[in-house]
Structures are given as C-alpha cells and as structure tokens.
Amino acid sequence: MKKTLAKFAAAVALSAASVIVPAKELVIGFSQIGAESAWRSAETESVKSEAKNRGYTLKFSDAQQKQENQIKALRSFVAQGVDGIVLAPVVETGWDRVLREVKRAGIPVVLVDRGIKVSDPSLYTSLVASDFVFEGKLAGSWLAQKTHGIANVVELQGGPGAAPAIDRKKGFGEIVDEFAGMNIIASQTGEWTRTKGKEVMEAFLKSQGDKIDAVYAHNDDMALGAIQAIKEYGKKPGKDILVVSIDGVKSAFEAMVDGDLNATVDCNPLLGPLALDALEAAIAGKEVEKWIVQKDKINLMQDAASMISSRKF
C-alpha cells in the first residue's frame, strides 16, 4: 500500500512539473521623445510590435520633445505599477530625482538609443544604444579620405543637450582635428528635422556661399533638408557639396541612389527586442550588461541601389 501511494505521489509530482505555467503578462511603460523623424518612428514601432509579440501590455507616452513630459510619464508609470520602463531620454541631464522615485518603487529602467548623466549609475538598469562617438568618427573618416583631408565643413547638429548630438559632434571633431586642411566653418542645431535642417543650411549658404565643401548632419532628416537647400541655391548636392549623415533610413538610401547624398552611417532604430530582453532579465533578477552596444557601419552612394530593397526602416 505504501509503495502504491509513493508511486502515485511521484506520478502526481511528475505531472505537476510538466505543466506549463503561463508567464505573467508584463506591463511595460515606454516614454518616447517624439516623432520628429523616420528613425524615431521606426524605433517606436519596434518597441510596440515587440511588446505585442510577447503578449505584454504597453503603456506608451509621446513626450513631444519635452523632458518635463517624460518626467510626468515616468511618475504616471510608477503610479500605475508597471513592471518595467523603457526610456528614450530627450536630454542627458536632470533625471536623478525622478529615477530615484522609480528605483524606490522597484521598477527597472532600460534606456534606448540615448544615454544619461546621473549621480548614481544604479538609477537605470541598462542602455541599449549605438556608440555615437564611433558614428561621428566613421562619418569624419570617410570625409577625410574623400577630400584628402582638405575641406571646409558645415555641421548640422542634433537637439541641444541630447547624447547623440554631443557624441556625434565629438567623434567627428576628433577626426577633423587630425587634419590641418579640414575645418568646421559653421555649426548650428537643425533640431533633428528636415524643415529646420533646410532653414539652417540656407543660412549657411547665405553667409558662407562658395566656401562650403561638405555638410555633416547628425541625422538623415537634417541632411535631406540641407540637400533641398543646396539645390535651391543652384549647386549639386553630392558633387559640388558633399553630404554625409547618420541614421541610415530608407529615404537617405533613396537620396544616395539619386546621387544627392554621399554616405550615411547606420544607427539601427529597431531596438525593441534588445530593450525588452534586458527588461525581462532585470525583472527576473538576472544580471544585465550596463551598455548593450548596437553595432553600426557606413553606407556609401555607390552601394545604395543594391542595398535599398533590404532596408527595414
């Protein structure tokens, strides 16, 4: 009898162990900067679609380029008791207070595409992003090689205080400093948009005119605006004035096929899988790398036609 009961108990235990218990449906908060570019929209869609594929509930907030909106969103996520937060920070600084509140609530935060400066690195779990300094160096190295180290360059910067703008400027500048014949003769923010990029480029052309050999734009949208301004000025972009930018969106490849854009550095926005992998690991109490680097490369005009059909963003 005892043996029979023991066998029955073992069978029940085995049966229970083989039952698949559904994972808890996670609730994730996602604070996005805005929708200022095709790149940004692709990143948003990547996070949303990945959350849907995993059966998560995603609470999305568009900050419309304002840090105060993101801070409000983070506090709202805490109040709603989310399991984790994805944050694309609009600027680098000013996050300590709200992230301390998030940490006290026991909610892990994964940054996407942009880093922040905080007094305590434990206020966020991980950063999933490209190496922006490296991207700037790629753009600068290509231009130095193309011009044999002799060029007057105008620079269209990203939003003031944003990590990509700071680091892309730094990386490009480090390359320029290596060549006595390369100079950045004008630099101004184009606020990441095509409209503002065109407006700033028009001002550069008005003040610098025939002195400009090349344009370096911190993103493709500003470069596309600059291309339009160059055409309206009566010059040929990609030939009379070289244009190099960063992001690698499909519209940039179209511009390369048309001969207007010389090169664009990849900055993959499809960060949803990596970001949610990091959050899942953190929620499960596992170790997560502090910086999960998205690797990038430069794409050139001559290769664009053969690559454009494979672009996902």
* For the chain, domain boundaries: 27-131+269-294, 132-267+300-310
- Which of 222, 219, 208, 220 is CA-nearest to residue 254? 220
Beta bridge partners of 23: none
pLDDT-derived band at 11, boundaries 50, 70, 90 = very low
Q: Is the pLDDT of residue 25 over 90?
A: no
pLDDT for position 24: 65
Give the 3-state secondary structure of the chain.
Answer: CHHHHHHHHHHHHHHHHHCCCCCCCCEEEEEECCCCCHHHHHHHHHHHHHHHHCCCEEEEEECCCCHHHHHHHHHHHHHHCCCEEEECCCCCCCCHHHHHHHHHCCCCEEEECCCCCCCCHHHCCEEEEECHHHHHHHHHHHHHHHHCCEEEEEEEECCCCCHHHHHHHHHHHHHHCCCCEEEEEEEEECCCCHHHHHHHHHHHHHHHHHHCCEEEECCHHHHHHHHHHHHHHCCCECCCEEEEEEECCHHHHHHHHCCCCCEEEECCCCCHHHHHHHHHHHHCCCCCCCEEEECCCEEEHHHHHHHHHHCCC
User: Can you tell me the distance from the alpha carbon of 136 to that of 158, in angstroms, rounded to the nearest whole number?
Assistant: 12
Mean pLDDT along residues 81-101: 97
Q: At what angle do helices 38-53 and 272-283 cross, to 10 degrees?
A: 50
Mean pLDDT along residues 34-62: 95
User: Can you tell me the distance from the alpha carbon of 22 to that of 90, in angstroms, rounded to the nearest whole number?
Assistant: 36
Mean pLDDT lowest among 17-26, 38-47, 293-302: 17-26
Phi-psi region of 181 (alpha: psi -120 to 50; beta: other; left: phi over 0): alpha
Mean pLDDT along residues 242-264: 97
Q: Using one digit for the tens of pLDDT, what is the confidence trace for 177-233? A: 999 999 999 999 999 999 999 999 999 999 998 999 999 999 999 999 999 999 999
Q: Are 177 and 141 in contact (CB under 8 A)?
A: no
Give the 3-state secondary structure of 247-310.
Answer: ECCHHHHHHHHCCCCCEEEECCCCCHHHHHHHHHHHHCCCCCCCEEEECCCEEEHHHHHHHHHH
User: Can you tell me the distance from the alpha carbon of 245 to that of 49, in angstroms, rounded to the nearest whole number?
Assistant: 28
Determine if the pTM surpasses 0.85.
no
- Which of 261, 216, 264 is CA-nearest to residue 236? 261
pLDDT-derived band at 253, boundaries 50, 70, 90 = very high
Amino acid at 169: K
Q: Report strand pairing: 242-247 vs 214-217.
A: parallel
Number of C-beta neighbours around residue 3 at 10 A: 7
Q: Is the pLDDT of residue 2 over 90?
A: no
Q: Is the pLDDT of residue 15 over 80?
A: no
Q: Are 223 and 249 in contact (CB under 8 A)?
A: no
**pLDDT averaged over the chain?**
92
pLDDT-derived band at 313, boundaries 50, 70, 90 = confident
| CATH 3.40.50.720 is held by the domain 27-131+269-294 | no
pLDDT for position 18: 35
Beta bridge partners of 87: 31, 111
Higher pLDDT, 96 or 9: 96
| CATH 3.40.50.2300 is held by the domain 132-267+300-310 | yes
pLDDT for position 48: 98
